[in-house]
Chains A and B, each alone.
Chain A
Amino acid sequence: MEGTNNDVVLLDFWPSSFGMRLRIALALKGIQYEGREENLFDKSTLLLEMNSVHKKIPVLIHNGKPICESLIILEYIDQVWHDKYPLLPSHPYDRSQARFWADYVDKKIYSTGRRVWSGKGEDQEEAKKEFIEILKTLEGELGDKTYFGGDDNLGFVDVALVPFTSWFYSYETCANFSIEAVCPKLVAWAKRCMQIECVANSLPHPHKIYDYVLELKHKFGLDTN
């Protein structure tokens, strides 16, 4: 099936790491699309229709048909537009490892990271410890490679993980620690990714994310003691 560029819509929300994954993938593959910003506190009828099960972004709508869940969308994009910048390795074993690690990122980073920025006292300390362990595990997987995908190109795991680096400043500031101090290799990897235009253009500035986090904390009363 030839990849068709016509009618690709991305329902997104600017601070969402999951949305960022798709911005990066679509940019790397040179796919033209219409990005629609959703207000998660006032979801559009389109979003509720296209993702009636979860009512969440991101949603990719390709020729009118919705695909939900960011990693599933990444696989879809990779399959349909397979000729440009493949994200998953062709070798089945390497593919299975890429899926395993992307799944690991999905299981661990978002929920633990959330406890890091929104938590207090002992809960936050525990979350911080867990979070550092998770990052160190990922560092171990990266090893001496330039990217998780290899030495030349970004891969599935890079695209799955790099959006969360725009949240690093927020995690660090809220929980008072330095990620670079504990995971220098991972931070070096993040910097290398940011040198790629498609990545840099898809991620908001960390300070903007932090402003958003402060807004959330205020909204949910998490900034009082």
Chain B
Amino acid sequence: MDEDLKLHGSWASPYSLRVIWALKLKGLSYEYIEEDLANKSDLLLKYNPIFKKIPVLLHDGKPICESMVILEYLEQIWPNQYPLLPIDPYERALARFWVNYFEEKSVSLWLIFRAKGEEQERAMKDSLEMLETIEENAFKNHKNNIFFIGGKIGIVDIAFGWICHWLKIIEDVGGVKLLEENSFPNLQKWMKKFKEVPLIKESLPNHQKLFLPFKLIRDMLLAS
């Protein structure tokens, strides 16, 4: 390997995919190691003792954990190969703000997946509020647009990207409908555009394949 990059990930994990998107956009070669999340490897536990989670990126044998930390790292080392962050400090702060916002609030999306009844309803409400905030604030005008800046995929697109595919899984598995057809027009337009980018399109795991393990996990969580 030219760059000695190894990625410990999981095919079903959107967080894993974020790193793959960044590596591919930057044209970086890497070795991929599929982790069985029900039976984590000793290596994974060694490289991420704090959270014991994927993705973990190894560069020259040194581990970096947390998908967005990994992305910032890749940007630092290979800034000129498909830059993911704006150069201007203010625009950079704005991009980071929305990434941070989504990381914080998207927890409610996963709660829709994990919960039922009242708890799930609350999670739906919180999720809609989040989507509303994004729709209202992130597309306001050309200056404030944080998606596809300069017509290219950036760190915000990558951070938000998983909702284009996993939101439907959450809806189907959770037995709910969050995104009505004509709601959040700007957001849905962005989602459609993102999914059509060839690199993204061909990386997405098959919907049917994803449904089963997510259904199993939900059933398990609700039974406990």
A residues adjacent to B (C-beta < 8 A):
1, 52-54, 62, 65, 67-69, 71-73, 75-76, 79-80, 92-93, 95-97, 99-100, 103-104, 137
CB pair B76 A95 closer than 8 Å:
yes
CB pair B92 A79 closer than 8 Å:
yes
Of the candidates A67, A71, A104, the one whose C-beta lies within 8 Å of that of B90 is A67
Interface residues on B, range: 20 to 34
Give chain A residues whose Cβ lies under 8 Å from the Cβ of B97: 53, 67-69, 72
State how many angstroms separate the Cβ of A2 from the closest Cβ of chain B: 12
Q: A96-B73, A103-B69, A104-B50 are in contact. Are A53 and B101 (CB under 8 A)?
A: yes
CB pair B62 A93 closer than 8 Å:
yes
CB pair A76 B89 closer than 8 Å:
yes
8 closest A-B pairs by CB: A96-B73, A92-B76, A76-B93, A79-B89, A67-B93, A72-B96, A96-B64, A99-B69
Q: A52-B137, A92-B77 are in contact. Are A1 and B65 (CB under 8 A)?
A: no
Q: A69-B97, A73-B93, A76-B93 are in contact. Are A93 and B59 (CB under 8 A)?
A: yes
B100 within 8 A of A: yes
Cα-based distance from A75 to B72 in the complex (angstroms): 12
A-B residue pairs in contact (CB < 8 Å), sample of 19: A52-B137, A53-B101, A53-B133, A53-B137, A54-B101, A67-B97, A68-B97, A69-B96, A72-B96, A75-B92, A76-B89, A80-B89, A92-B77, A96-B69, A96-B72, A100-B64, A103-B66, A103-B69, A104-B50
B residues adjacent to A (C-beta < 8 A):
50, 59, 62, 64-66, 69-70, 72-73, 76-77, 88-90, 92-94, 96-97, 100-101, 133, 137
| Additional 16 contacts, C-beta under 8 A, given A72-B97, A72-B100, A96-B64 | A52-B137, A62-B90, A65-B90, A67-B94, A67-B97, A72-B93, A75-B93, A76-B89, A76-B90, A76-B93, A79-B92, A92-B76, A92-B77, A95-B72, A97-B64, A99-B72
Give chain B residues whose Cβ lies under 8 Å from the Cβ of A79: 89, 92
State how many angstroms separate the Cβ of A8 from the closest Cβ of chain B: 13
Give chain A residues whose Cβ lies under 8 Å from the Cβ of B69: 96, 99-100, 103
Residue of A nearest to B78 (CB): A92
Give chain A residues whose Cβ lies under 8 Å from the Cβ of B89: 1, 76, 79-80
Cα-based distance from A80 to B133 in the complex (angstroms): 29
CB pair B65 A100 closer than 8 Å:
yes
Residue of B nearest to A96 (CB): B73
State how many angstroms separate the Cβ of B15 from the closest Cβ of chain A: 14
State how many angstroms separate the Cβ of A141 from the closest Cβ of chain B: 9
Cα-based distance from A88 to B66 in the complex (angstroms): 18
Give chain A residues whose Cβ lies under 8 Å from the Cβ of B137: 52-53
State how many angstroms separate the Cβ of A212 from the closest Cβ of chain B: 25
State how many angstroms separate the Cβ of B128 from the closest Cβ of chain A: 15
Cα-based distance from A148 to B96 in the complex (angstroms): 23
Give chain B residues whose Cβ lies under 8 Å from the Cβ of A65: 90
State how many angstroms separate the Cβ of A224 from the closest Cβ of chain B: 27
State how many angstroms separate the Cβ of B79 from the closest Cβ of chain A: 10
Give chain A residues whose Cβ lies under 8 Å from the Cβ of B90: 62, 65, 67, 76
